[in-house]
Structure 1
Amino acid sequence: MDKLEDWLAHCERLHPKTIELGLERVRSVAQRLGLAFGCPVITVAGTNGKGSTCAMLEAVALQAGYRTGVYTSPHLVHFEERCRIHGEIVRGADLVPHFARVEAAREGVSLTYFEFTTLAILSLMAASAVDLAILEVGLGGRLDAVNIIDADCAVITSVDLDHMDYLGPDRESIGREKAGIMRTGRPAVVSDPVPPQSVVDRAVEIGADLWRLGHDFNFSGDKQQWAWAGRGRRYAGLAYPALRGANQLINASGALAALESLRSRLPVTAQAVRNGLAMVELPGRFQVIPGQPALVLDVAHNPHSVAALTANLDAMGFYPTTHAVFGAMADKDLETMFARIGPLVDRWYFTDLPVARAESAQGLLARWEAQGHRAQVSASIHADPMAALRAAMANADPTDRIVVFGSFHTVGGVLQDGVPRLQAKHLAS
């Protein structure tokens, strides 16, 4: 197999389950690979905010002159997006030898798609002479494949209700799973403003060096600028992060605390912080596409992130009509998501998605109708995200707003050919 697509198809066939938490199988293969990093490693777990935190860590470290390696998942359009070396998305051809390494080291062990691909990307990163490795943890923590790496600093962003079939029925249970990425004697940054007690208890139990938002670091700000303060260090007069949304200050604060905790090994200047946060980019996180009508892309796919999206949309100001393109997995708490964002939406465009776990457009419509809604709100169903977006564009006036949100597959579906340029029809008319 000499193409990435062949290896990805191979990974999909290997294991009967999409998700099987546990470290024994993946650790045994990692040991045969001799997987090890010769640089500081930061792992980032949490319900929401992981990708943004990773992107901010990367941007600041790059501005400080470090060679970075970043692993995030899932991807929006192309698998290669899951790994960046020194700020650049890796080439599929560069990943292929590492898939072959994992296959040789597997020795018959059954790995899930996520486990196999994680090992291949970690193998590439370990061979890439990076100065800092930033690893986003998947849906879990304690039993997630990424947790085979003993991180020098663990970051836990928000903890909220998602993936409850795997992680437990409440925030305390989920927090306990996320806290599994902490290590004895090493920094554990918790940027959730009100973390579950289970996270704090686990840090105390194992003797981690706990950094808590509101205790060990904090932020403040006005409409023009913001400031961050941590243990013995302060940054004042910072421009707001280039990633939009009020919740991004919480993510930025956690990222700065993580870098501060590794200061002796990985010093960064105030200028690197300023430039990095001003230049950070991450598609699909309250991404506003210029043009008319306004177009917002956001991978909000659980109640917590949809609440943040709703607040950010509210802060945008008045639009006569808000059109929402939405597709999501069937196991999500869709009813709560509809309840939170529903008051802002005037027309829904439900879409099918190309994955078995997804709720059908018809199913989304039925679950939305069962909630009850304002009489003047309408809805339609569509075969794919791009078809739904085209329908929204056809119905929208230039002064309206279109929000594409939900699964990564929803946002990725409208980014397949690059940033949508459908607003041009209004500019030409």
Structure 2
Amino acid sequence: MSQQNLEPLDVEAIREEFPILEREFDGQQVVYLDNAATTQTPDPVVDAMSDYYRESNANVHRGIHHLSQEASVAYEEAHDRVAEFIGADGREEVIFTKNTTESENLIAYSWGLNELESGDDVVLTEMEHHASLVTWQQIAKRTGANVEYIRVDETGRLDMDHARELISDDTALVSAVHVSNTLGTVNPVSELTDLAHEHGALSFIDGAQAVPNRPVDVGEIDADFYAFSGHKMAGPTGIGVLYGKQSLLEDLEPYLYGGGMIRKVTFEDSSWGDLPWKFEPGTPPIAEAVGLHAAIDWLEELGMERVQAHEEELAAYAYDQLAAEGDVEIYGPEGGPDRGGLVSFNLEGVHAHDLTSILNDHTVAVRAGDHCTQPLHDKLGVPASTRASFYVYNTREEVDKLIAALDDARALFA
């Protein structure tokens, strides 16, 4: 079914599951357009976590009593649910971390420090989030590897001709964002992965801005590693996911050690447990895993195709409304299938931080700054930008409120 034929989301019904959206400041109802930073959490997710704490709270894999068994089953089933959601082959390929950043670091330390050496190339993109860029930059310094960057062209898309030039037999890893958190660009990650594999390299895809708002199948992408965060997909903070192909994860050494991830310990040495537990030492995010499971159930009930269509429609509407203002510079593709659900922009003569403060006076919550993409902003020639990002509970009327508030900024800085 094409997106044009999808039944639209019942946004008003969805909003009823988010009491926070009813909050008012100085008599004005909040307009929450900061979803690329974190989404709000619906009642079913909060209820699932509360029920866990009220009825099944215990440590996992540690006890044979009833509560521990219930908690263990819930925690393991969360791995199964995530695997099903993203098209992984099973729980062995799903590692729970704190967030996407920790997932990047897990591979950087477990694989990068052990495998990279002088002469190896790590290929990133100029639109990488600091979670990827800083991590691989620092690992390269320790190993002697080189970091190369695929150019972003004037439209905000990757220069794939340049990608084909950079990715060579010297490339050890290609790491790229699936959807840019600044430009909104939806990158051709399957093509990047194919290029990596053609040269014997691995691929790591940062899906923090993709999994929350579009169907993702890691098998179709053929990524070796793929990461995302629960708090950007109507789930709780404190839990992220690292997907890895089982054959690769089995060969990697863990970089965090402790209880729960071992098979046998002596005074002289230790051996590691089975996947995924060997990468999850200590008490894991049990309640958060329960919440992530509930968030996935909630999103799939909405339908990820419908979620994607709603976000793209709002982003296109916001882009058109901002472009019509005449004194607004917008970054990234104009719209369509290669733009996700966010728009970053600057209002002429007004710093992004000042604009965001003025928008806050209208209870419009957006984000200003470099969005953890300082090198990209340097390339764009601006110190910061204002970002409006959308989710399933946002409406055109909220975009209109954002646009209307721009007049106040113009008047103050005229």
Question: TM-score w.r.t. structure 1 length?
Answer: 0.28
Question: Looking at both structures, which has the greater relative contact order when contacts are Cα pairs under 8 Å and sequence separation is at least 6?
Answer: 2
